[in-house]
Chains A and B, each alone.
Chain A
Amino acid sequence: MRIWSRIRSWMRAVARRSRMEREMDAELRFHIEAFAEDLVRRGVPRGEAQRRARIEFGSFERAKEECRKAHGANFIDSLVQDLRFGLRMLRKSPGFTVVAVLTLALGIGANTAIFSLLNAVVLRLLPVPDPQQLVQFTYTGIGDWNSYFDYPQLERLRMQAGMLSGIFGGVGVNQVNVVWRGSAGLAQCDAYTDNFFSVLGVAPQQGRLFAPGDDHEGADIVVLSDRYWRSRFAADPAIVGQTILIDQLPFTVVGITPPKFSIYVGGARDLWVPLHALDRLTPDPNRWQAPFTSWLLIAGRLRPGVSLEQAQAELDMIHRRLLAQQLLEVEQPGQRMRQFVSASHLVLHPAANGMFSGLRHTYALPLELLMGVASIMLLISCVNVANLMLARASYRRPEIALRMALGSGRTRVIRQLLTESLLVAGAGGVLGLAIAWWGGAVLVRMISTGDSPVPLDVRPDWPVFGFTAAVSLAGGILFGLVPAIRGTRVDPGSALKQGAHGITGPSRFLDRVLVAVQVTLSLVLVTGAGMFLRTLKNLQGVDVGYERDNILMFSVDAKLAGYPKERAAALYRTILDKAAVLPGIQSASVSIVRPVDDQYYLVDIIGQVDGRTLPEAERVKVAWNAMSPGYFPTVGTPILMGRDFDLRDSRAASGVVIVNESLAHRVLPGQNPIGHRLDGAEIIGVVKDSLYGGAREQPRPVLYRSLFQGQGGTDPGEWVGMGAVSFELRYRSGAGLVDEVREAVASVDRNVPIFHVKTLRAQTEDSFLREHLLATISGFFGGLALLLACLGLYGLMAYAVARRTAEVGIRMALGARRRGIIWLIVRETMWLVLAGAAAGIPLTVWLSRYAKALLFGIGSADPAVFATSVATLIGVAVLAGFLPAKRAMKVDPMVALRYE
């Protein structure tokens, strides 16, 4: 009964709030009037009676407030009241509201955008059951590690491992050409063992996935991803059971994966074929037996209750036993191989958020760093809004004093002020989410190099929403609490008396501290931005050894159009001939590796110089490439000695090679290398060093082979048939060139697709993408931080000038010079900046350790960058202090003295 009545009265209180308010008002009024009546009856004059009745009753509002509280309606009631009042107050000062909400929205939006990318790249778990049981296999070598195994390892591990409920292996087939109903299109294909989907625990959306027994050499089934099924086959369920051509070979579609299924971050696959379908797609008789090769990724699922360490111990034993056995089977194993076998251990990595991903590897650290930068940005936003709130609180002192004089408790007023802060934070959060929505997509485009954006889902999901809400709430309390506490520390009497001026207040020490903190944090961001901009500039300024401008490149893969290896070279040669005579083309070439390639990095070992076999320790590890005649003039790498390849270097002739300076110096120091032989091939030229893998590399020995000749009489098809080749065209005018190239290739064979169409300039810029991302975003935040610091300083100084009007008036009346007055104000901002910078420099030095791995050509504590940043901040401070100072200068002493 009692509980029920309580609930009833509470519900009544909530539901009929306005009626209750009216009744309460009427009841209390009745009391006072009845009391006054009694007094009148006792002979007190009416006016005096009413006054006394009110005094005796005490605070009317407080009584009402306590009645509300007693009625249990207080919390919701006062919350609604606070919200309405807060909204009214915010509407009353739109300038403050807009600035505060925008500042916060930028801070929160930046955080959320970067968090959503971090979430998508690093944090999000695979959409499979119990993802934390998944592990990826890697092994250590001599000072390095590798995640690609040979096939016997996979077989042995699958056979003997007991701690795992399943082990699967697979490899990317990379780009394939899928023909359906006569139309061709490129797609990304993986080949995996037939337990791939069952170990992951994925159920088909349509049809079936792989089943035991699917993985055999004649395998001709294929599973489509949801994305590919929708984009290529318009989500037609009838595709299941039909035959499509992959690289001109028939495969039957058996099923579709569920949406979002992927095991790599940023590398969505379109098709999966059984592992042994490789025998049809890219035949290689040695693949299944060869030991000490690395081409196969392995992953598995731990049995429930088995720890990573336990499983690793078991797997390592199997791995090492097999290595020892494999070593015995190798004829005359080298020293390094023996070392490797004794040093190698199998290491498991958690794969709950996906297999090893290049995208994650590249961007995990930058994103974590940017997350830090964005957090600092948010902190600056909060400090800025806190400062605004402080200023506002001192303008609102009379109002707050009045409310407290009328009987509001201090906690009640603090709560009300906090509600206002949270309203601002909430608005900032909502707007921030919108900014993040847009910003996330922009970020994804910024890290995409390929022909289409990296497939990352950065649309806000629950973790992102939760993150934003938490950040907004924390921000609201952070910037709201201190001003609220300080703002309510008023003595109603004196505050009301002074109130008319509206700009009195307690000492501005806290405000100064906040502005100095802002300067400190800004310095961190500005310096960070400086370092990343410097890094980008340094990279762009590196002499890579070729000319970046006026070169168009495109890739072609004969395999995609069903060409057998033997005919690939002829196809490429025909395309080259066609491309070379296009209008506006100065020269043209074709090579396996293109400049700044992001696909291939070929390495080899030279073991013989002029017929002398080198001892193992002196063998030279080289990077190599193979190209047509005309490559060097086309990319602008000077030939220092000898000659370029030419068509006389035909298949029948003995092998010829070109070396770069580093290689020449390494194998034939102090000699003219022309005419000497490396592994039997004659050196015909020496070219200037160029950076094989891009600007971040040091020059290294590089060997150049002739693409159309083959090595030592072997079939050139062995090389040119193994993957795509890249064409390079040096052009005079690039207008319409891409279309002409497409037409030229189509005129050779309509079924040959071209891809990776890019200028060398763009390819180079793409290789700086990470640095570009860091520089752009940290630069953006640095600028924003400067702007906010400027606003903070300006606000503080404007306030100080207003407060010191009388002082300035006196000084000027006593003959102070105008310049002296300016100095008075500017000096104060200077001190703040210097104090902030003094704290900021060590903080930045300390924080910059984390960025060290991402810098290029610059130390993490570069004095020039620091000096520039501090100078920039001082410049901003002078700017921020100058306007208020100018206003102070215009003070008319007479007006100022009468002012208070």
Chain B
Amino acid sequence: MDKQLDLLQGTLDMLILKAVSLGPLHGYGILLRIQQISKDRLEIQQGSLYPALYRLEHQGWITSEWGESENKRKAKYYRLAAGKRKLQTEAEKWNRMADVIAGILQSTPEEV
């Protein structure tokens, strides 16, 4: 299973929130962090990352400010704002969903 997985609809927001919850990051950093955590198994359309960031900021889950990057360049950093709770509920929802789906997929003829 080395093939990269396409991102499920609606999960990008959660992944961004998770990535940012570990410390402030710029957009490219978020991309790298997600790839790193997922061990390069998730494919994120680079162009779609930014609209998601803007949306989350617009909704108030994250905030941004300009700072300096590792190689001394100006970059925009995102950090979690009200998103902690959001991340929690999203993660719970996701886990419940994953459980349910896993349960369904593991079910045997006898159980039905």
Contacts and interface: CB of A to CB of B under 8 A. Distances in A.
B96 interface: no
A67 B49 CA distance: 9
Nearest to B56: A70
B106 interface: no
Given A2-B82, A30-B26, A58 B47 contact: yes
Given A63-B47, A70-B52, A30 B60 contact: no
A34 to B, nearest CB: 4
B89 to A, nearest CB: 14
- Of A24, A28, A69, A72, chain B has the most CB atoms within 10 Å of the CB of A28
Which of the four size classes fits the interface of chain B?
A: 20 to 34
A4 B66 CA distance: 22
Contacts of B74: 26, 30
A621 to B, nearest CB: 86
Contacts of A56: 46
Contacts of A31: 27-28, 31, 46, 50
A35 B28 contact: yes
Contacts of A4: 60
A57 B45 CA distance: 7
B69 A34 contact: yes
Nearest to B57: A9
A260 interface: no
Nearest to A2: B60
A27 B50 contact: yes
Contacts of A63: 47-48, 50-51
A590 B73 CA distance: 105
Interface string A54-74: 001111101100110111100
Nearest to A30: B75
Contacts, number: 77
A82 B71 CA distance: 39
A72 B69 CA distance: 28
B58 interface: yes
Contact of B59 (A5, A35, A62): A5
Contacts of B26: 27, 30
Given A70-B52, A70-B55, A58 B46 contact: yes
A56 B44 CA distance: 10
B50 A5 contact: no
B94 interface: no
Interface string A33-45: 0110100000000
Contacts of A6: 58-60
Most buried by B among A26, A27, A62, A63: A27
A26 B26 CA distance: 12
A27 B51 contact: no
A23 interface: yes
Given A6-B60, A27-B76, A66 B51 contact: yes
A27 B74 CA distance: 9
A63 B55 CA distance: 12
A59 B69 CA distance: 24
A70 B58 contact: yes
A118 B17 CA distance: 64
Which interface class (under 10, 10 to 19, 20 to 34, 35 or more) fits A?
20 to 34
A412 to B, nearest CB: 15
Interface string B24-50: 001110010000000000000111101
Contacts of B45: 58
A58 B50 CA distance: 12
B47 A23 contact: no
Contact of B47 (A24, A59, A72): A59
Contacts of A617: none
Contact of A30 (B28, B31, B46, B57): B28
Nearest to A60: B47
Contacts of B73: 30
Interface in A603-622: none
A28 B53 CA distance: 12
B101 to A, nearest CB: 29
Contacts of B76: 23, 26-27, 30
Interface string B61-85: 0000010010101111000001000
B46 A71 contact: no
B27 A67 contact: no
A870 B61 CA distance: 71
Given A6-B60, A26-B74, A35-B28, A70 B54 contact: yes
B47 A71 contact: no
B58 A9 contact: yes
A15 to B, nearest CB: 15
B27 A27 contact: yes
A1 interface: yes
B99 to A, nearest CB: 29
Given A26-B74, A27-B27, A30-B28, A72 B50 contact: no
A62 to B, nearest CB: 7
B54 A67 contact: yes
B46 A67 contact: no
A2 B59 contact: yes
B72 to A, nearest CB: 12
A4 B81 CA distance: 14
Contacts of B55: 70-71
B76 to A, nearest CB: 5
Contacts of B71: 37
Contact of A69 (B27, B51, B59): B51
A54 to B, nearest CB: 10
Contact of A57 (B46, B52, B57, B75): B46
Interface string A825-864: 0000000000000000000000000000000000000000
Nearest to B81: A5
A867 B52 CA distance: 68
A5 B60 contact: yes
Contacts of A34: 28, 69, 75
A9 B71 CA distance: 30
B47 A57 contact: yes
Residue from B51, B57, B58, B66 with most neighbouring chain A CB atoms (10 Å): B58
Contacts of B51: 63, 66-67, 69-70
Contacts of A2: 59-60, 82
A67 B54 CA distance: 6
A183 to B, nearest CB: 76
A848 B69 CA distance: 79
Nearest to A53: B46
B69 to A, nearest CB: 7
Nearest to A37: B71
A72 B31 CA distance: 24
A798 B84 CA distance: 67
A72 B59 CA distance: 10
A409 B3 CA distance: 31
A36 to B, nearest CB: 11
Nearest to B47: A58
Contacts of B48: 63, 66
A792 to B, nearest CB: 45
A56 B52 CA distance: 17
B105 to A, nearest CB: 33
A405 to B, nearest CB: 15
Contacts of A10: 58
Contacts of A69: 51
A24 B75 CA distance: 11
Interface of A: 1-2, 4-6, 9-10, 23-24, 26-28, 30-31, 34-35, 37, 56-60, 62-63, 66-67, 69-72
Given A57-B46, A71-B57, 10 more contacts: A4-B60, A26-B74, A28-B50, A30-B26, A63-B48, A67-B50, A70-B51, A70-B52, A70-B58, A72-B58
Interface of B: 26-28, 31, 45-48, 50-52, 54-55, 57-60, 66, 69, 71, 73-76, 82
17 contacts: A2-B60, A5-B60, A9-B58, A10-B58, A23-B76, A24-B50, A27-B76, A30-B28, A30-B69, A31-B46, A57-B47, A59-B47, A63-B51, A66-B47, A66-B48, A66-B50, A70-B54
The 3 closest A-B pairs by CB, nearest first: A5-B60, A58-B47, A66-B51
